[in-house]
Amino acid sequence: MEQQKTGILLANLGTPDAPTAKAVKAFLAEFLHDQRVVDLTRFIWCPVLHGIILPLRSPRVAKLYQEIWMKEGSPLMVYSRRQQQAVKELTGLPVELGMTYGNPSMKSAIESLQQQGCKKVLVLPLYPQYSATTTAAVFDRVSKAVKKMPQVPEFRFVNHYYNQEKYIEALAVSIEKHWSEHGRGDLLLCSYHGIPKRYADNGDPYPKHCFATTEALQQRLELDDDQIRTTFQSRFGREEWLQPYTDKTLEKLPSEGVKRLDVISPAFSVDCLETLEEIDGECREIFIEAGGESFEFIPCLNDNPEHISLLKNLVETNICQW
């Protein structure tokens, strides 16, 4: 019986091709057009998006990207490429990178795997906690990518790994290493990307997954309840998002006796604008201005050995009996 070759599709959200207003505008237009991200009626949303949001936000966001842009490119792309190469070397399987928005597209990644003879494709979204706004959006893009293909590969999807032992261990090792090098603060703040509360009310399990990750991390690090906390960042618009909000929490912590703070963003598999600029930039300023003395940002797992080991394990576990 012929053994069918399996390929791996690592999927992430995406990034502008360049730190320019034009490139950022193109990326944001694709991103914010997705109804998984913004589910407002198109008749209402599109005029607001194209008439107000994109013209105003694109130049400002481009400047923020310029501050974090690496020599090799966008941090999200640089670290994702490193993950791709590392997983490929460890598994010996074809591994391609596909972005939900921007380049490289899901379609180009799948076509590349097919050209390498892959009849089966394991899709691994780099989102530990499932959300319709991220993980499900990957599924949508994959479906759209193969819609007109004459031969569709057999697919298997990884929905989440928020409580996977190796994931929690990778986070814990990263935190312990940071503590050994920089000392330990009064509180470990786990800041997750937020979503509108309405999405969770309608059934999105994302907040449950986030709180479960923090709980597992607390147990692994043997922390008391007052030594670790969960918050949500990056809210947009006027409606209520998941709470407690990261920025509002940072304003209050110094008055509660938390002067030295450690912050990690467990929902992000790689450092990006939301971690490097928002957390390590804006949030740092908020905490210090409120009376905080020390703000330590713990980087994302990126291409840490423990993280690559986790990704390798996820791949092997999901294809071993396929």
Q: Which residues of the chain have pLDDT under 50?
A: 1-2
Residue type for position 158: V
Q: List the domain boundaries for the chain.
A: 5-161+306-319, 165-298
Residues annotated within a binding site: 193, 274
pLDDT of amino acid 3: 61
Q: What is the pTM of this model?
A: 0.95
φ, ψ for residue 244, nearest 5 deg: -75, 145
pLDDT tens-digit map of 105-151: 999 999 999 999 999 999 999 999 999 999 999 999 999 999 999 99
Angle between helices 106-115 and 135-145 (to 10 degrees): 60
The whole-angstrom separation of Cα 300 and Cα 265 is 7
φ, ψ for residue 145, nearest 5 deg: -65, -35
pLDDT of amino acid 102: 97
- Which CATH entry fits the domain spanning 5-161+306-319: 3.40.50.300, 3.40.50.1400, 2.60.40.1180, 3.40.190.10? 3.40.50.1400
Residues annotated within a binding site for Fe(2+): 193, 274
Angle between helices 54-68 and 21-33 (to 10 degrees): 120
Cα-to-chain-centroid distance, residue 231 = 15
Q: Specify whether the CB–CB gap between 266 and 217 falls below 8 A.
A: yes
Residue 221 structure tokens? 């690090």
**What CA–CA distances, in Å, run from 284 to 58, 78, 166?**
23, 24, 29
Q: Check if CATH label 3.40.50.1400 holds for domain 165-298.
A: yes
> Rounded to the nearest 5 degrees, what angle is found at the Cα of 161, between the Cα atoms of 73 and 33?
55
The whole-angstrom separation of Cα 271 and Cα 126 is 12
pLDDT tens-digit map of 16-53: 999 999 999 999 999 999 999 999 898 899 999 999 99
Spell out the residues 6+ positions from residue 224 whose beta carbon is closer than 8 angstroms to its own: none
Domains 5-161+306-319 and 165-298 belong to one CATH topology: yes
